[in-house]
Chains A and B, each alone.
Chain A
Amino acid sequence: MDTDELTQVARLRAEVRSGSELAKAQRLLAAEIAAASGAAARGRGKGRGRRLAVVGTVAAAVAAAVIVAGLRTHPGPGVARPTVRPPTAHVPGPAASEAELVAYATKAAAAAPPFRPGPHEWVYSKVLAATSANEGGSLQGPITGRRVTQTWTRVDGREQAVLQHGRLYLSGLIGSPEGWKSVSYSYLKSLPADPARLRAIIAAEAGPADANIFNAVQALLENAVALPPRLNAALYGVLASLSQVRFEPSVTDLAGRTGVGLAIVEEGYIRQIIIINPASYAFMGEKSVAIRAHVSVALDGTLHVKKGQVLGWWALLRSGIVRHAGQLP
């Protein structure tokens, strides 16, 4: 019979049943869904792809950067105790230009105490994000609420956990943010502190356009990774070297704190702003705003964006290194 070879193929391993392999998917998907509701408020849909391509990526969702060095004088509500001692050296400020920002941040990084998190320690981050109705990766209308998300990302970049409804969801990470080979502390520490050399490495990985490089830096900042202090300053240096990037002397984050910003206009209508603490030069959060009206048509519907509409807004409230997922610094 003509079908014999296919029938024989169909019989092979016919006894195999599904079962245990679904548990992991179920768990990770639950975490993803739980976390996505928090993430949606933080970035536009486009941003989602930029973040960690991760199994269970809570990271995708939990866009929270932890500039560990910067945490030392992290202001804002909820900061009980900084994880890393503030530098005793005087850090000048506030910066009035991108050049000053880079210079001061570099100085602050040089004065930072030695910092070497163990690969199995965890970076904790607590993020406050604006939410709206019909979330889908960006705020799709007026801000209707605020949500706090707490995550733990292992320093070696291999695991992540998110706290949702009192439960800790653990997941493995399999990727790194777009434009980065790895987010392990050892890899990040091996990168050059010279902005020009660092920019060349990022450009080789992410693409040479200003927007590519800006997005790659932003992806690293917002993905809850432990950053060596010198690299943190060098990242600002890379941003400042981009001709399309503008310094913003005053930007308010979602928690009401005032910072300085480095901003770029993407897709002709979205101003993406990285908000930086003007005293400690720690990464504080992000804001994206439409600078003109825009209509985007997608398979899942047409989106009308008004001029001045806030498309994403979030603040890193607290962060630090802890020994176990679920622990607070």
Chain B
Amino acid sequence: MLFRRYAAGLGRYVTRRLGPDLAQDIVAETFLAAFRQRGGYDTSRQCARPWLYGIAANLIRRHYRDEERMLRALERTGIDPVAESAADHVEARLAADATSRAVAAALASLSPGQLEVVLLVTWAELTYDQVAEALGIPEGTVRSRMNRARLQLRAALGGFGPATAFDGQE
């Protein structure tokens, strides 16, 4: 069953992006949508993960402003509204370090399309072809968005040596 296999991972991913309150609605909507679309879904496909993350991506996109606002709050105050609301532990409430604040700022400066690709790769650990499948875009577009986003992130994070070994050309 899809839910048993993927719910925990998807739940964590969406929570990381939007916090537990929005995540519970989005995860629920994702699985309900998946359940309703099951007739049109090719079950012979090896892995339903990209499909599920694609449904979730559509739902997450509606909350882009919230996501950006929370990243900016982390940048500004060092308090992460997401970690704060998701935290069971005291340590999560501690102010974030300078790096986290800079990363939050850098992510907030990405376009919604770039942010989607970067987080599907780094947080959801989807491969480029899976991201392409999830978002319904060509793999080349995934690569170019990724490259552009990485340049931007690198610039925003103050640079860690010269940019080398990109996956492709800008």
Please give the residue numbers on chain A whose beta carbons come within 8 Å of chain B beta carbons, in ascending order.
1-2, 4-6, 8-13, 15-26, 28-29, 32-33, 36, 45, 48-49, 55-57, 60, 136-137, 174, 298-300
Q: Which residue of A lies closest to B157 (CB)?
A: A5
Q: Quick check: is B29 within 8 A (CB to CB) of the other chain?
A: yes
Please determine whether B35 and A21 come into contact, CB atoms closer than 8 angstroms. no
Please determine whether B3 and A48 come into contact, CB atoms closer than 8 angstroms. no
Contacts of A28 in B (CB 8 A): 28, 31-32
Please determine whether B82 and A300 come into contact, CB atoms closer than 8 angstroms. no
Q: Quick check: is B170 within 8 A (CB to CB) of the other chain?
A: no
Given contacts A18-B11, A300-B40, contact A24 B28 (CB under 8 A): yes
- Bound complex: CA of A13 vs CA of B119, how far in Å? 12
Please determine whether B40 and A24 come into contact, CB atoms closer than 8 angstroms. no
Please determine whether B24 and A20 come into contact, CB atoms closer than 8 angstroms. yes
Q: Which residue of B lies closest to A136 (CB)?
A: B39
- Residue with the highest number of chain B CB atoms closer than 10 Å, among A19, A22, A298: A22
Given contacts A6-B122, A16-B82, A26-B7, contact A56 B164 (CB under 8 A): no
Please determine whether A12 and B32 come into contact, CB atoms closer than 8 angstroms. no
Interface residue count for B (Cβ, 8 Å)?
Answer: 58
Contacts of A174 in B (CB 8 A): 29
- Residue with the highest number of chain B CB atoms closer than 10 Å, among A9, A21, A300: A21
* 14 sample A-B contacts, Cβ–Cβ < 8 Å, listed by A number: A5-B157, A6-B122, A9-B118, A10-B122, A12-B103, A15-B87, A18-B7, A21-B11, A21-B24, A22-B8, A26-B7, A32-B32, A36-B35, A299-B42
Please determine whether B154 and A5 come into contact, CB atoms closer than 8 angstroms. yes
Q: Quick check: is B50 within 8 A (CB to CB) of the other chain?
A: no
Please determine whether A16 and B103 come into contact, CB atoms closer than 8 angstroms. no
Contacts of B27 in A (CB 8 A): 21-22, 24-25
Contacts of A8 in B (CB 8 A): 99, 103, 153, 157
- Bound complex: CA of A5 vs CA of B152, how far in Å? 10
Contact check: which of B20, B92, B123 meets A21 at CB < 8 Å? Answer: B20
- Bound complex: CA of A287 vs CA of B122, how far in Å? 50
- Bound complex: CA of A23 vs CA of B15, how far in Å? 13
Given contacts A11-B103, A15-B83, A300-B38, 16 further A-B contacts (CB under 8 A): A4-B160, A6-B121, A6-B122, A8-B99, A9-B106, A10-B123, A13-B83, A17-B12, A18-B11, A22-B8, A25-B28, A29-B32, A32-B32, A33-B35, A299-B42, A300-B41
Please determine whether A29 and B86 come into contact, CB atoms closer than 8 angstroms. no
Q: Which residue of A lies closest to B85 (CB)?
A: A16
Q: Quick check: is B43 within 8 A (CB to CB) of the other chain?
A: yes
